[in-house]
A = this chain, B = another copy of it.
Amino acid sequence: MSTPILSPLSFYKCLSDDTRLKALMLIYLEKELCVCDLITALELSQPKVSRHLADLRKCHILLDERRGKWVYYSVNPKLPEWAMKVLELTAHNTEAYLNDNITNLNMAKQSECCP
């Protein structure tokens, strides 16, 4: 029954790293993504992506769900409304920042990573 406590400071600390911010924006825009999608979209090593996703998970911004071999990440719908709106504003005003990654992601979706 308790809503997860998310201090504004820990929220913004999560957004203050390039990998975390981009991963979060992509997941927000796509509703959910698996780790292999993000590795391709961000062009980063698997441990690096995984570590930053863990940060976002630990402060309850993201949820993870294993389905078979893959782990899917999505934005926690229980996020405070103000935080959700911040994500919305950011995602829709950072096209240039995300451009390359979205291109990579679309290519990833057409390949054979995850179903």
Contacts and interface: CB of A to CB of B under 8 A. Distances in A.
A90 B94 contact: no
Given A16-B12, A16-B15, A21-B9, A90 B86 contact: yes
A48 interface: no
> Which of under 10, 10 to 19, 20 to 34, or 35 or more describes the interface residues of A?
10 to 19
Given A89-B85, A90-B82, A90-B86, A16 B9 contact: yes
Interface of A: 7-9, 12-13, 15-16, 18, 21, 80, 82, 85-86, 89-90, 92-94, 97
B89 A93 contact: no
Contacts of A86: 86, 89-90
